Amino acid sequence: MQTLWDHRFAQRTQRMGSSAIRELLKLTESPDIISFGGGMPAPDVFPIQEFREACERVLRDSGDFALQYGPTDGYPPLRELIVRHTARYGIEVTPENILVTSGSQQALDLLGKILINPGDHILVESPTYLGALQAWSAYGAEYVTVPMDEYGMVTDALEAALRSGPKFIYVLPNFQNPTGVTLALERRKKLIELADQYGVPIVEDDPYGQLRYEGEHLPSVVVLDGQFRNSGESCYRGNVIYLSTFSKILSPGLRLAWVVAPPEVIRKLVQAKQGADLHTSAFTQFVAYEVSRGGFLDRHIKVIRDCYGKRRDVMLAAMDGYFPPGVEWTHPEGGLFLWAILPETMNSAEVLKMALQQKVAFVPGAPFYPTGGGHNTMRINFSYSDPDKIREGIARLGRVLYEAMGEPLGIYH
Ligand SMILES: Cc1ncc(COP(=O)(O)O)c(C=O)c1O
């Protein structure tokens, strides 16, 4: 429907649309639906008591500062805590390399603001994280894609894509959203070499790397890039901009994340952030620091790993029992999602309609493909629902899939 406002909106708004996932999540809010749709952490692992005590301590000891305006680059003790925390995962940088943002989603938006001119090509995995496409399309980005397989971005296809002259490469190396797939070590190295050769920076988005349930931690692209350059400096000045977040290791409602980047990139991001929100909530940063310090964050990450690792196992076992032959799915070593692939002739958006009637939801995969495809894929979240709900939801989804394929039910139904 046309409104009075349509001709007043800036041109860039024509590329804006509501996120298909957020729209879908509205449908699944009803309590009788088992939703494998959102990328939501389990409320069971929110450290509510620790937050209550931390809020009290912050207000008692530092209320004057926590309720005041703060610096744009972040609350200094929190930036130092992030430096210590990331060092445990091999990312050794200084506070000069860190910017605290209001969620990684803001970091993606700010990167669009400082890097993307209308018509610039961004090289992305296909499929990739929808929120990044949503952020960057508003700045006029076009996408050039590189396919994924079970070892992540297919780096053999990277060079051809790099020849199109992309502004940067966007990669999700650990337990990717949406597929759950992890980029193999050799491919990480190849990515860094090719990016260096073509003079193209890399944006590494890593919300899930700390949530590994099996296998060995793989060094981040930013770490390998530091080794590749072998500068010996503690301040990182390389080719990678790294993003991570407190959303999946503490709480997404905090809206608290961080960027690791060379200092000149941080300075430009700070200018962009000043125009966006002056700074991330000071109170939230004080409380997150107070909760996280003294080793709590590491202990809590273990609790989350334990909880989600079990849920992943329950889901994989249920899928083995309840899903029809002809459906394939990934076996993520961490993160929040797995990815199912239906036979070519099927359309997962149609399957979703049937699934909602059976009160179970997932996210159809097509919107994650910026240049089309993926009509037969589905993203399934395993972190949010408890094990009983996972079993029941997968049983329902299995029945829906048998029906959609026109097959009689399997022996477990
Ligand atoms: C790959 C990826 N990047 C960024 C985000 C946004 O995270 P945040 O809650 O920190 O804004 C998400 C959230 O699910 C994500 O999966």
Please give the span between the terminal C-alpha atoms of the chain, in angstroms, as a whole number.
46
Tell me the CA distances in angstroms from 397 to 38, 321, 339, 348, 353, one per residue in order. Answer: 16, 12, 14, 12, 11
- Measured in Å, residue 104 CA sits from the centre of ligand 1 at 5
Which residues of the chain fall below pLDDT 50?
none
Q: Which pLDDT belongs to residue 25?
A: 63
- How many whole angstroms from 105 Cα to the centroid of ligand 1? 6
What pLDDT does 20 receive?
Answer: 62
Instruction: Report which secondary-structure segment, H or E, holds 309.
Output: helix 296-322
Tokens of 402: 């048998």
Distance 150 CA to ligand 1 centre (A): 22
- Ligand 1 centroid–CA 161 distance in Å is 25
Best mutation site among 245, 246, 250 for ligand 1, i.e. most ligand atoms within 8 A of its Cβ? 245
Report pLDDT for 2: 82
User: What's the whole-model pTM score?
Assistant: 0.96
Per-residue confidence (pLDDT) for residue 290, from 0 to 100 = 98
Q: Residue 392 is encoded by which pair of tokens? A: 């029941």
- For residue range 238-254, list pLDDT tens digits in order: 999 999 999 999 999 99
CB atoms within 10 A of CB 226: 24
CB atoms within 10 A of CB 147: 14
Dig out the tokens for 307 from the structure. 């909880």
The Å distance, Cα 402 to ligand 1 centre, comes to: 33
Determine the Cα–Cα distance for residues 246 and 72; give it in Å rounded to an integer: 18
Cα angle 344, 345, 351 (rounded to 5 degrees) comes to: 100
* 179-209 as b/e: b if 16+ CB within 10 A: bbbbbbeebbbbbbebbbebebbbbbbbbbb
Residues 6+ apart with CB under 8 A from 294: none
Q: Whose CA is nearest to atom 14 of ligand 1?
A: 39
Q: Select from 105, 108, 259 the residue to mutate for testing ligand 1; criterion: most ligand atoms less than 8 Å from CB.
A: 105
Q: Which two tokens stand for residue 253?
A: 């409602």
- The C-alpha atoms of residue 231 and residue 63 are separated, in whole angstroms, by 42
* CA of residue 336 to ligand 1 center, whole Å: 11
In whole angstroms, give the CA distance from residue 128 to residue 132: 8
Rounded distance between C-alpha atoms, residue 190 and residue 196, angstroms: 10
**What is the three-class DSSP state of 126?**
strand
CA of 396 to the centre of ligand 1 (A): 28
* Beta strand pairing call for 363-364 and 257-260: unpaired
**What is the 3-class SS of 354-380, one letter each residue?**
HHHHCCEECEECHHHCCCCCCCCEEEE
pLDDT digits (tens, 9 = 90+) for 248-305: 999 999 999 999 999 999 999 999 999 999 999 999 999 999 999 999 999 999 999 9
Q: Are 173 and 182 in contact (CB under 8 A)?
A: yes
Mutate to test the pocket of ligand 1, among 82, 110, 134, 177 (most ligand atoms within 8 A of CB): 177
Does the CA dihedral 296-301-302-304 come out positive or negative? positive
Distance between Cα 243 and ligand 1 center (Å): 9
CB-based pocket (< 6 A), ligand 1: 39, 103-105, 129, 131, 172, 177, 205, 207, 245, 247, 252, 257
Task: Choose one of 111, 246, 247, 248 to mutate for the ligand 1 pocket test, by most ligand atoms within 8 angstroms of C-beta.
Answer: 247
Closest ligand 1 atom to residue 248 Cα is: 9
Cα–ligand 1 centroid distance for 135 (angstroms)? 12
To test the pocket of ligand 1, the residue of 82, 110, 129, 242 to mutate (highest count of ligand atoms within 8 Å of its CB) is 129
Ligand 1 atom with minimal separation from the 172 CA = 1
Residue 413: per-residue pLDDT: 76
Please tell me the predicted confidence (pLDDT) of residue 187.
98
